[in-house]
């Protein structure tokens, strides 16, 4: 039961110290060897395991350095081996300078490699395999269009062209299917680009790409009289244009209901992608545009929470009923993805409104106590966040 969300949270770092490289932190289940700081940090949406190229998935690389007393490679390996074996994992291989481990969860695997050629430095590599977000169906897209008034299509085009790549034809087919099911009389097809290039050129390109999407759907039976086409170029970004991921999010087409009027609904409203049978905790409704990716409950277990200030925090063991909720962002609605600071602030505010007190706050995690209830919010990025709630009675 305890491993159900392992990989979904391990590849997203949540423990940081003031001396660490900016924006870095330890993985949630694998905290560093004491005395080390993070010198380098890199996270990739896709990468390969160093000793087995067939193992691919989300990748985190962290280089730790120690300016104090040297620590042997065997001591470093034992530190991570205890963590891996404690989670039901196994040792894959160990040499005098390297070690690797694997932990199997319900829906995914965690592959961990440690390289320690120097007593004052070691490198950690994590691969999360098997936790892909389910592909959107026409029903998912239609539900998003009805709920949000728009649905984003990440159609692939060649650079500076408006010709749809073959691998995006399936997406065009899904979009056409959803419009055939939708009773909406009018749909605006809107094009968007990143900020690379000239703004005027990008605007012309965005119109051409929106037209290509509309033409593709018309070929599949959508009534052209229902469609209008426009483009905004780089004027309405969803992501950070300074990063590859942000620019990819900005290069999109959207199907928009021009008559859409937002409904006054609770932020805890169920999402079509929610895992079956799962629901929000009554004190902590989800943020808009997120769905429950995984959920689990343990009736009686020990959970470690951090308390105090980052860099000076101490661990407190709490025993009780545990609930873990993993939320993922649904970008089909075309809404900007919140950052971890917004996520953490939202839940910290909710805890305070419920009469709670914050026990720990960092750039990627927060802990609150509300009477007999403890809650941890872990959010290294906006794509996903995790709530761990323990009730001691």
CA dist 102 and 115 (Å) reads: 15
CA 211: distance to chain centroid?
Answer: 31
> CA angle 170-174-177, nearest 5°?
135
Same domain, 245 and 346: no
CA dist 305 and 303 (Å) reads: 7
Q: Which residues contact 127 (CB under 8 A, 6 or more apart)?
A: 11, 47, 48, 49, 55, 56, 57, 58, 59, 110, 111, 112
Provide the CATH number for the domain around residue 167: 3.30.1330.60
Same domain, 49 and 149: no
Same domain, 301 and 222: no
Same domain, 101 and 10: yes
CA dist 385 and 379 (Å) reads: 5
Same domain, 147 and 204: yes
Residue at which a domain ends, from 72, 102, 129: 129
112: closest CA among 73, 72, 58? 58
Same domain, 121 and 144: no
Which pair of tokens denotes residue 274?
Answer: 């929610």
Same domain, 240 and 299: no
Task: List average pLDDT for each run of 10 residues in the chain, which is 393 residues long.
Answer: 39 55 77 91 83 82 90 93 85 93 76 93 89 65 84 87 91 94 94 89 95 97 96 83 71 90 54 86 89 89 87 85 91 77 90 84 89 88 89 79
CA 165: distance to chain centroid?
Answer: 27
Determine the pLDDT at residue 4: 38
User: Beta-strand (E) ranges in 88-236?
Assistant: 90-94, 98-104, 109-118, 121-129, 150-153, 187-192, 227-231
Number of alpha carbons in the 13 Å side-chain half-sphere of residue 36:
28
Residue 264 lies in a domain: no
Determine the pLDDT at residue 1: 37
Same domain, 110 and 215: no
Q: Which domain holds residue 331?
A: 290-391
Residue at which a domain ends, from 232, 256, 280: 256
Domain count, the chain: 3
Contact 120, 100 (CB under 8 A): no
Same domain, 222 and 303: no
Residue 228 lies in a domain: yes
Same domain, 156 and 94: no
89: closest CA among 106, 74, 107, 105? 105
Residue at which a domain ends, from 74, 107, 129: 129
Determine the pLDDT at residue 245: 63
């Amino acid at each position: 039961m305890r491993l159900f969300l392992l990989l979904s949270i391990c590849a997203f770092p949540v423990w940081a110290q003031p001396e660490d490289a900016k924006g870095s932190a330890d993985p949630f289940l694998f905290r560093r060897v004491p005395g080390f700081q993070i010198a380098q940090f890199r996270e990739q949406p896709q990468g390969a395991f160093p000793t087995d190229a067939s193992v691919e998935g989300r990748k985190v690389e962290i280089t730790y350095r120690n300016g104090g007393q040297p620590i042997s490679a065997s001591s470093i390996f034992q530190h991570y081996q205890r963590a891996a074996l404690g989670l039901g994992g196994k040792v894959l291989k160990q040499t005098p300078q390297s070690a690797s481990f694997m932990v199997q969860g319900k829906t995914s695997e965690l592959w961990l490699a440690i390289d320690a050629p120097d007593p004052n430095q070691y490198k950690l590599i994590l691969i999360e395999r098997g936790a892909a977000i389910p592909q959107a169906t026409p029903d998912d897209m239609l539900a998003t269009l009805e709920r949000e008034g728009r649905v984003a299509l990440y159609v692939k085009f060649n650079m500076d062209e408006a010709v749809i790549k073959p691998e995006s034809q399936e997406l065009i087919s899904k979009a056409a299917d959803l419009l055939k099911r939708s009773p909406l009389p009018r749909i605006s097809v809107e094009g968007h680009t990143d900020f690379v290039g000239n703004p005027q050129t990008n605007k012309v390109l965005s119109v051409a790409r929106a037209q290509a999407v509309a033409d593709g759907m018309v070929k599949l039976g959508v009534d052209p009289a229902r469609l209008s086409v426009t483009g905004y170029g780089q004027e309405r970004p969803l992501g950070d244009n300074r990063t590859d991921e942000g620019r990819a999010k900005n290069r999109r087409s959207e199907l928009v209901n021009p008559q859409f009027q937002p409904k006054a609904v609770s932020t805890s409203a169920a999402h079509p992608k929610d895992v079956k049978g799962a629901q929000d905790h009554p004190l902590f409704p989800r943020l808009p545009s997120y769905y429950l990716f995984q959920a689990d409950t343990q009736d009686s277990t020990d959970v470690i929470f951090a308390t105090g200030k980052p860099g000076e925090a101490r661990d407190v063991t709490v025993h009780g009923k545990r609930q873990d909720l993993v939320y993922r962002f649904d970008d089909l609605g075309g809404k900007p993805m919140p950052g971890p600071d917004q996520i953490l602030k939202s839940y910290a505010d909710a805890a305070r409104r419920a009469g709670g007190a914050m026990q720990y706050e960092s750039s990627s995690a927060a802990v609150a106590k509300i009477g007999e209830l403890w809650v941890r919010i872990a959010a290294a990025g906006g794509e996903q966040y995790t709530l761990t709630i323990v009730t001691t009675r």
